[in-house]
Structure 1
Amino acid sequence: MLSKPMDKNFEELCYSCRTGDMDNVDRLISTGVNVNSVDKFDNSPLFLASLCGHEEVVKLLLQRGAVCDRDRYEGARCIYGALNDAIRDTLLSYDISKAVDVKQPFATHISSIYNEESFFNRDISFRVSNDQLYTAHRFLLCARSTILAGKMAHEWVRNDVILSEVRSDILEIFFKFLYLIPVLHQIEPEQYEELIKLSNEFSIELLPEFLDKARHIADPTDKSRLMSDYQYKFTEVARNQLLVFVNNCIFGSAVDLADKEQLPISLMNCSAYPDILLSVQNRNGSIRIYPCHLAVLSRAEYFKIMFTHNLKEKVEYVKAKHLLGKYGSVIPQLTLPNCEFEVAEIILRYLYADNTDIPWMYAIDVLLVADILLEDRLKTIASTIITQSKEFIQQYNVFDVLYLSWEIGVERLEQFAAKFIAIHLQELYNDPEIKRAIVLSSERISLRQETDTVELVDDIRYYLLRKYSFEPDDVELFENQDDLEYLKQVGYLEYRKDMEIVDDILSRLNLDV
């Protein structure tokens, strides 16, 4: 039998589900990998996480669209193969109708801006047959449909559009769908035909296909399963559409300036339909202005706090008489922390489309900007890229990584550095930086007592046990052994040598830990 070819990201996802690496599972899911696929042994990520006892990974997979249907073979395998009762109970109690990735940060944020009216600029309104009014964001409608984008540019130039032939209930469901709000279960059979017609008119991908299948299914379980499968597809289509929109309309309309006061009119009249400008200055002093949207930038906590708390000192209002109109006489302009334009665009791809494709050479800069933006999930993803890249550690000093982890509070990087030091301890023994790192770690302990330990030293000792595949009890047994040949074979002599290096460094530093 031929083995099934596997996508590299899916293969890594399966490995992370086996090992319980929740951060990497989160990162890989955000790349669009299919969580309901199977590996060459017919194991799904959910089955692997269940079998290996990683409850939090199981919950994350379920939240992101993994289906556990007890009436199907794969679902039964997950339930009966679960390592413990807690995971089994989680799988049994998880309602299949909710097994969609509505809790995915990207989908959740896009859905949230549909009802949020406090400071998100809705710039187009639609009036339907019963005179009811609906408002929306031009940029999102343009991203979700090329037909809608064409109408925005030509027929719907004004802010108010009349759709006299569309029923209000149909338009409401249609808009909620575009904003990734889970509405499939709310659609009544008598609404199918009108929704299919409207979706085909505006070339909305997959929705007519789903509706056509759903109207021929009577069994509630089968219909729930269909909803679950398609909700995942809908979200992935939307992510890809917004990624195309960012690349073509935002990056394609960005302007490089010699003088930031000279804002060209093309910025506000471009196909991005921006309501805010994002200014970025790179290390060479060059300035680039991106036409953006507060509704999306507010996904970063820093920007959200800035506008919800009206921190005007952080917002520059650029006077531009030739850019008047619905924006008045000023244009809100935000400034991203100084960074390379490539880094700024990685940040924007993440905010708009949850894209986590971060080249290792930009991972540190992304990490630093994400820290300023209070975007913890992006920090975690960037740190995961660092710890998984062989090229990274060949270019960067491990002690710089350690100090950075302390500076911005990323435990994953701290553990990565400690593990690297433990593995390469004999090579690093004469490097004065290892002594400095231990001293700095000891100084991080507030109100240090004689019995205190040094966190870095504890971590190194832990990873030395892992390096030689020992348990603490093994070491006690080896210490009572006299057979040197046996101790050499099991690696105890090398382990002892590494431990003596640690003790020697501590002795030279007069640290009793």
Structure 2
Amino acid sequence: MAHTVCLSDPTSTPLPALCLECLSCCDLPVTCPYLGVASPDQKGCFPSAPFHGPSFSDHEPVLTQALTSFLPRYLLEQRDVEVNVRDKWDSTPLYYACLCGHEELVLYLLANGARCEANTFDGERCLYGALSDPIRRALRDYKQVTASCRRRDYYDDFLQRLLEQGIHSDVVFVVHGKPFRVHRCVLGARSAYFANMLDTKWKGKSVVVLRHPLINPVAFGALLQYLYTGRLDIGVEHVSDCERLAKQCQLWDLLSDLEAKCEKVSEFVVSKPGTCVKVLTIEPPPADPRLREDMALLADCALPPELRGDLWELPFPCPDGFNSCPDVCFRVAGCSFLCHKAFFCGRSDYFRALLDDHFRESEEPETSGGPPAVTLHGISPDIFTHVLYYVYSDHTELVPCATQALARI
């Protein structure tokens, strides 16, 4: 039988009500004036009004145990809070758990995807600040959790696979003999420099060879990781090479983030003798819209002219005449959407089967030299527009009548 409790300090603003599966696991006294216990037939959380009774110190151990055990589980498992979220001091929940000596919480956070790799800024901070030897041992024994046991963002996973596997890639960069299979549409949407080069100097090329001595293949791979995922991992010995590439490709946000992170790492290493940071990581802030907004440009380009309306009057950061290099055309009720197989196959099993010709529905190119066309039946252009934006940017604003139609796809 599920019970619910509300934790609140009578001397402060009440905490949000928490739903707990069972009280028996923490030995909380049901008569505790600070913990309201629901009746067996009551559903949902208790109101967050404070309870009055003995001093807070009398119940501090009970509340400390509840807050370090149940609150993190509630936030991660019920509220879907990012486990590696950072505050204004660039500190993560794992760092504070190590600093305060909560071993059980440290193990829980590590098991749920908290990052603490050796020789990284976060890893060294947690190790240096750990309050106890058991926590230090847990951090040293830490191994990166696998994809099957960590909570992940499916859209981020898709973009990472798109880069790693190069499925439906349309250009290969060879940097000092190392090949990188990439997609023109992604590079063009994320970088004005690549958009220009792919439409001029590299136009029509399926292989681009880069032999310049200042282009490091490791740094180039890290730059691609940033363009695809918004995240970057680079060894400190290659940071200057990465900064040079970021400047060349006019990625000013990345250049600023690299410089800021290098400064933080340098200050930390100087103030904490014995630490060794070898890997620098750049991550976008929580809910950062830049990556999804850039990918949404591809959906903008895919829209047929009759559905664009005032879209192209808006000041998008995309250069005039941006060529998204579509490789498939979807015909929907007479409207032609110029899209990319890499996104539709990677995001939908249905479209993967369709575009792999399992159903043999591919048709002749719509125009001479144009991409192959596939006709979709039983769906309106408006509904497919929602599909389009969700496939590219993982976001679309649905009206109630569109939900059932989308569920069939």
Which bin holds the TM-score, normalised by the shorter protein? 0.5 to 0.7
1:301 aligns with 2:349: yes
1:2-42 Cα distance to aligned partner (Å, 9 max, x none): xxxxxxxxxxxx99x9679xxxxxxxxxxxxxxxxxxxxxx
CA shift, 1:177, in A, is 2.1
Residue 241 (structure 1) aligns with: 294
**CA gap 1:255/1:343 in 2 versus in 1, 3 angstroms:** closer
Of 68, 71, 92, the residue aligned with 1:51 is 71
Aligned residue runs from structure 1 range 18-33, under 5 A: none
CA shift, 1:321, in A, is 6.6
**CA gap 1:55/1:270 in 2 versus in 1, 3 angstroms:** closer
CA shift, 1:60, in A, is 3.4
Q: Name the CA distance, whole Å, in 1 between partners of 2:343 and 2:303.
A: 15
Residue 356 (structure 1) aligns with: 396
1:69 aligns with 2:111: no
**CA gap 1:164/1:254 in 2 versus in 1, 3 angstroms:** farther
1:216-262 Cα distance to aligned partner (Å, 9 max, x none): 3144899899947x334696321111123322x22266789xxxxxx
**CA gap 1:111/1:335 in 2 versus in 1, 3 angstroms:** farther
Residue 125 (structure 1) aligns with: 172
Q: Name the CA distance, whole Å, in 2 between partners of 1:48 and 1:348.
A: 42
SS of the residue 1:241 aligns to: helix
1:455-490 Cα distance to aligned partner (Å, 9 max, x none): xxxxxxxxxxxxxxxxxxxxxxxxxxxxxxxxxxxx
**CA gap 1:222/1:205 in 2 versus in 1, 3 angstroms:** farther
Read off the aligned partner of 1:158 and give its amino acid letter. Answer: G
CA RMSD of aligned residues (A): 4.2
Aligned residue runs from structure 1 range 424-443, under 5 A: none
Of 222, 243, 250, the residue aligned with 1:196 is 243
Q: Name the CA distance, whole Å, in 2 between partners of 1:49 and 1:349.
A: 39
> Where does structure 2 lack aligned partners over 5 or more consecutive residues?
1-14, 21-66, 123-149, 270-274, 309-320
1:91 aligns with 2:118: no
CA shift, 1:70, in A, is 4.7
CA shift, 1:140, in A, is 0.5
1:343 aligns with 2:392: no
1:51-92 Cα distance to aligned partner (Å, 9 max, x none): 396366358323585774254499969x79xxxx8x785336
Q: Is the 8 A contact 2:97 2:106 kept in 1?
A: no
Per residue, is there more helix in 1 or in 2?
Answer: 1
Q: Is the 8 A contact 2:235 2:279 kept in 1?
A: no
Of 125, 132, 152, the residue aligned with 1:103 is 152
Q: Is the 8 A contact 1:279 1:333 kept in 2?
A: yes
**CA gap 1:274/1:18 in 2 versus in 1, 3 angstroms:** farther
Aligned residue runs from structure 1 range 300-379, under 5 A: 300-307=348-355, 310-313=357-360, 315-319=361-365, 322-323=368-369, 331-358=371-398, 362-369=399-406, 371-373=407-409
Q: Name the CA distance, whole Å, in 1 between partners of 2:169 and 2:355.
A: 16
Read off the aligned partner of 2:384 and give its amino acid letter. Answer: A
Read off the aligned partner of 2:372 and give its amino acid letter. Answer: P
Q: Is the 8 A contact 2:226 2:232 kept in 1?
A: yes
Q: Name the CA distance, whole Å, in 1 between partners of 2:306 and 2:154.
A: 26
Q: Name the CA distance, whole Å, in 1 between partners of 2:348 and 2:235.
A: 37
Read off the aligned partner of 2:210 and give its amino acid letter. Answer: L
1:60 aligns with 2:100: no
SS of the residue 1:231 aligns to: coil
SS of the residue 1:162 aligns to: strand
% identical equivalent positions: 15
SS of the residue 2:229 aligns to: coil
Q: Is the 8 A contact 2:362 2:372 kept in 1?
A: yes
Q: Name the CA distance, whole Å, in 2 between partners of 1:141 and 1:154.
A: 14
Q: Name the CA distance, whole Å, in 2 between partners of 1:340 and 1:169.
A: 46
Q: Name the CA distance, whole Å, in 1 between partners of 2:82 and 2:323.
A: 37
Q: Name the CA distance, whole Å, in 2 between partners of 1:110 and 1:307.
A: 19
**CA gap 1:116/1:363 in 2 versus in 1, 3 angstroms:** farther
Q: Name the CA distance, whole Å, in 2 between partners of 1:334 and 1:48.
A: 54
> Where does structure 1 lack aligned partners over 5 or more consecutive residues?
1-13, 21-46, 257-268, 282-286, 325-330, 374-513
User: Aligned pairs, how many?
Assistant: 291
Read off the aligned partner of 2:190 and give its amino acid letter. Answer: R
**CA gap 1:222/1:71 in 2 versus in 1, 3 angstroms:** farther
TM-score scaled to structure 1, two decimals? Answer: 0.48
Larger Rg: 1
Q: Name the CA distance, whole Å, in 2 between partners of 1:251 and 1:110.
A: 22
Aligned residue runs from structure 1 range 476-495, under 5 A: none
Q: Is the 8 A contact 1:280 1:288 kept in 2?
A: yes
Q: Name the CA distance, whole Å, in 2 between partners of 1:131 and 1:372.
A: 46
Q: Is the 8 A contact 1:278 1:289 kept in 2?
A: yes
TM-score scaled to structure 2, two decimals? Answer: 0.58
Q: Is the 8 A contact 2:83 2:93 kept in 1?
A: no
CA shift, 1:152, in A, is 1.8
Q: Name the CA distance, whole Å, in 2 between partners of 1:52 and 1:163.
A: 48
Q: Name the CA distance, whole Å, in 1 between partners of 2:84 and 2:331.
A: 34
Q: Name the CA distance, whole Å, in 2 between partners of 1:202 and 1:363.
A: 42
SS of the residue 2:251 aligns to: coil
CA shift, 1:108, in A, is 1.1
Residue 10 (structure 2) aligns with: none
